[in-house]
């Protein structure tokens, strides 16, 4: 199955822009994640793909066929919602087979599909129960099961884990990824959670204000963000972003931070934004830039330090050892991990190797 969106645009009657200038493709068997802040248009895009909404402009293709005007039931897609959307008066079995029954699938074939899904998701012993008798994780598995029993061409997930606690979310992420691989399905997953995106995706599309800002493999976007928004949005804790200038092979901030930079020559002298991940700095006894620890967070296996550099820059650093507020430290920047952006275009500046 191949999905292709061509110049999709959605404008609502009140003039609000849902999405615009959307062009992307999804390959067979891929888990594609739409990631972005609330209100960026990712759920709208999912509803357009499913047929629950109609685009103002543009075309949607599945396997080369234009399905833009098709009703949802003709598209052979299955959608898993944030709120489970289970029928409370029906048993798990009845919920699982409801869609198949509506399509007049014969009873023996329905039961074969239901039993297959129930075994795959560990729901066999709950088939006779109603949703109120299940835990949140079990209800979410029923919602997943209702989608996979149809064995559709495309699975659509609209923030399906946002109502679960953190431990259960982590468990369900693993189950969704395992399920995706076992059914060999093509999936589009919507989330604002960066951990979900990084752990699930083959490809991430980052959205902002109804547009796709960037796309790529999770590690590529994380390590080499193509623009300022991606750099600042993807990753927790967020990348440090510092305004300054390149002056004779050094980065100098407005508050006096001064570090060597290879691949940025003197004639590159101009305003830039330097980005560096909190884990790409280390603390040593000397040879770095002086800083004071202003606050800290214990993350378990590491500590997140909030430090103020000499001159006034406020940065975040991930460290392993124990430190205390008010302590003076020496911070070393891993120069090869620094990335630079043009403050006008917001795009990354390529360094000369």
What digits encode the pLDDT tens for the residues 83-103? 778 899 999 999 999 989 888
Q: Is the dihedral of CA 202, 203, 206, 210 positive or negative?
A: negative
pLDDT number for residue 165: 80
Query: CB atoms < 10 A from the CB of 191, how many?
Result: 23
Portion of the chain with pLDDT greater than 70, in percent:
98
Which H, E and C letters describe 36-61, residue by residue? Answer: CCCCCCHHHHHHHHHCCCCCCEEEEE
* Structural tokens at position 298: 């214990």
> Does 3-233 match 241-349 in CATH topology?
no
The architecture of the domain spanning 241-349 is Beta Barrel (2.40)
More confident site: 168 or 131: 131
The pLDDT-based confidence of 269 (bands split at 50, 70, 90) is low
Q: Where are the domains of the chain?
A: 3-233, 241-349
How far is it, in rounded angstroms, from Cα 23 to Cα 215? 11
Cα separation, 212 vs 17, in Å, equals 14
- Render pLDDT for 62-75 as a digit per residue (tens, 0 to 9): 999 999 999 998 99
Average per-residue pLDDT in the chain?
90
Higher-confidence residue: 262 or 209?
A: 209
Architecture of the structural domain at 3-233: 3-Layer(aba) Sandwich (3.40)
Please count the other Cβ atoms lying within 10 Å of the Cβ belonging to residue 35: 28
**53, 224 contact by CB (below 8 A):** no
Cα–Cα distance for residue pair 176/156, rounded to 1 Å: 12
pTM: 0.88
The single-letter DSSP state of residue 127 is: T
Phi-psi region of 3 (alpha: psi -120 to 50; beta: other; left: phi over 0): beta
What is the rounded CA–CA span in Å between residue 239 and residue 30?
A: 28
């Amino acid at each position: 199955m191949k999905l292709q969106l061509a110049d999709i645009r959605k404008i609502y009657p009140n003039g609000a822009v849902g999405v615009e200038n959307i062009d992307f493709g999804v390959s067979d068997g891929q888990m594609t994640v739409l990631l972005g802040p609330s209100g960026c248009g990712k759920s709208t895009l999912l509803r357009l793909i499913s047929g629950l909404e109609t685009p103002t402009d543009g075309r949607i293709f599945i396997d080369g066929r234009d399905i833009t005007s098709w009703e949802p039931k003709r598209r052979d897609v299955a959608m898993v919602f944030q709120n489970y959307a289970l029928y409370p008066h029906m048993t798990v079995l009845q919920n699982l087979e409801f869609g198949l029954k509506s399509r007049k699938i014969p009873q023996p074939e329905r039961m074969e599909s239901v039993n297959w899904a129930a075994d795959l998701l560990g729901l066999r012993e709950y088939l006779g129960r109603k949703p109120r008798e299940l835990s949140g994780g079990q209800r979410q598995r029923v919602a997943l099961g209702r989608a996979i029993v149809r064995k559709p061409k495309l699975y659509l997930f609209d923030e399906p884990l946002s109502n679960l606690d953190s431990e259960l979310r982590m468990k369900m992420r693993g189950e969704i990824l395992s399920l995706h691989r076992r059914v060999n399905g093509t999936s589009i997953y919507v989330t604002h959670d960066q951990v979900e995106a990084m752990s699930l995706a083959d490809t991430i599309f980052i959205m902002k204000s109804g547009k796709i800002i960037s796309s790529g493999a999770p590690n590529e976007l994380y390590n080499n963000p193509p623009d300022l928004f991606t750099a600042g949005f993807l990753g927790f804790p967020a990348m440090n972003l510092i305004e300054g200038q390149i002056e004779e092979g050094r980065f100098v901030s407005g508050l006096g931070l001064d570090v060597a930079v290879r691949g940025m020559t003197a004639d590159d002298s101009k305003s830039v934004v330097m980005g560096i991940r909190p884990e790409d700095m280390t603390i040593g006894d000397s040879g770095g830039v002086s800083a004071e620890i202003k606050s800290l967070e214990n993350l378990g296996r590491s500590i997140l330090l909030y430090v103020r550099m000499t001159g006034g820059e406020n940065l975040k650093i991930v460290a392993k050892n124990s430190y205390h507020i008010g302590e003076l430290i020496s911070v070393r920047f891993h120069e090869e991990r620094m990335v630079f952006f043009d403050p006008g275009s917001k795009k990354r500046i390529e360094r000369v190797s």
